[in-house]
Copies of this chain bind each other. A is one copy, B any other.
Amino acid sequence: MTGKPDVLIVGAGAIGGFYGAILKKAGCTVSTVLRSDYEVVREQGIRITSPLGELSFQPDHVYREGDLPDEAPDFLVLCVKVLPGVDRVSLVAPWMGEKTRLVLIENGLDIERELADAFPDNPLISCLAFVAASRTDAGVIEHKAYGKLVMGRYPDGIDENCQQLSQLFTEGGINIDLTEQVVGERWRKCLWNTPFNPLSVIANGADTRTILETEGGEELIRAMMREVMSVAAAEGYPMDESLIDQNIKGTWKMPAYKNSMALDYLNDRPIEREAVLGNVVSIARRHGISVPHLNTVLVTLKMRAALEGRE
């Protein structure tokens, strides 16, 4: 390989567009595969407002889902939401070459396995994004704050592919935490997300402050966090009990905040229920661990989805 690598972003919403812009800034060739925003991005590129300065860019190629690629990319960065109706394997399959490194920047737990199984010979890099960004219009992204990626090889380790990708993001202006245990990091992130995100949906879009201030609310969040912790420990990722206090105290200090799942729900977009909550309950079941609080929230979300004809 000579020069900077070819990158293909699949799913260039807020996350994909933002991190694609960073890689473009680092000098990569960056193309995108789009669905709804295809026409707009083809014409005017991806427009980004950001405290990091000018990030708007015109992708080198703009593909539509189903197009056939010119050639396989060095890095395929998958940023679609993890939803039951979205077959991520079929989505990336046409673009995967022999040497393509597959990169996930996606939320949730146990979301790598099916891709690792489908492409056993391609290195799989798993990333967690800590970023506040949203798509405000077709091809328009507002990056508000943060941007750090936690990154590691799936299922564990740090290899030269991670090193290379990390280097590119760093050149683009983003902090990277390389980790030997990216799955453990997913559990740590879920310690917060798995309680707060679904509860905010059940409570019709309640913000963090409303959730904590409601009588019994903080106690319920703590109980759900203890359940997440016990499942993580059974999976080989024990966490220190003090992390619960840290998470709760940190949340009290933040301004009232509506998480992305709450916003998805309020805007009639599908929510990543299984990736963030359902998979945790399934893993708990496999280990014979009782998670009554998590399960109650999961099943009531399913009832609501059934009522809305969403499943």
Q: Which residues of A contact B (CB under 8 A)?
A: 199, 202-206, 210-211, 213-217, 219-220, 223, 292-293, 295-300, 302-304, 306-308
A281 to B148, CA, bound (A): 42
Find the residue from A215, A297, A308 having the highest chain B CB count within 10 A.
Answer: A215
Residues of B within 8 A of A211 (CB): 303
A300 to B217, CA, bound (A): 8
Can you report 12 residue pairs joining A to B where beta carbons are below 8 Å apart? A203-B300, A203-B304, A203-B307, A206-B304, A214-B303, A215-B302, A220-B296, A220-B299, A292-B296, A293-B295, A296-B296, A300-B300
Q: Which of B204, B219, B296, B304 contacts A307 (CB under 8 A)?
A: B204
Q: Which of B213, B293, B299 contacts A306 (CB under 8 A)?
A: B213
The oligomer's copy count stands at: 2
B206 touches A306 (CB 8 A): yes
- Of all A-B residue pairs in the complex, the 3 with the closest CB atoms, nearest first, are A203-B303, A292-B292, A296-B296
Q: A204-B307, A306-B210 are in contact. Are A199 and B292 (CB under 8 A)?
A: no
Taking A214-B302, A293-B295 as known contacts, 14 extra A-B pairs with beta carbons closer than 8 A to each other, sorted by chain A number, are A199-B300, A203-B306, A204-B307, A205-B307, A206-B307, A210-B303, A214-B306, A216-B302, A292-B293, A293-B293, A293-B296, A296-B296, A296-B297, A300-B300
Smallest Cβ-Cβ distance to A211: which chain B residue? B303
B304 touches A217 (CB 8 A): no
Cβ distance A206 to chain B, nearest Cβ, rounded Å = 5
B293 touches A217 (CB 8 A): no
A302 to B210, CA, bound (A): 10
Q: Which of B206, B210, B223, B300 contacts A297 (CB under 8 A)?
A: B300
A210 to B217, CA, bound (A): 27
B293 touches A210 (CB 8 A): no
Cβ distance A230 to chain B, nearest Cβ, rounded Å = 13
B217 touches A302 (CB 8 A): yes
Residues of B within 8 A of A210 (CB): 303, 306-307
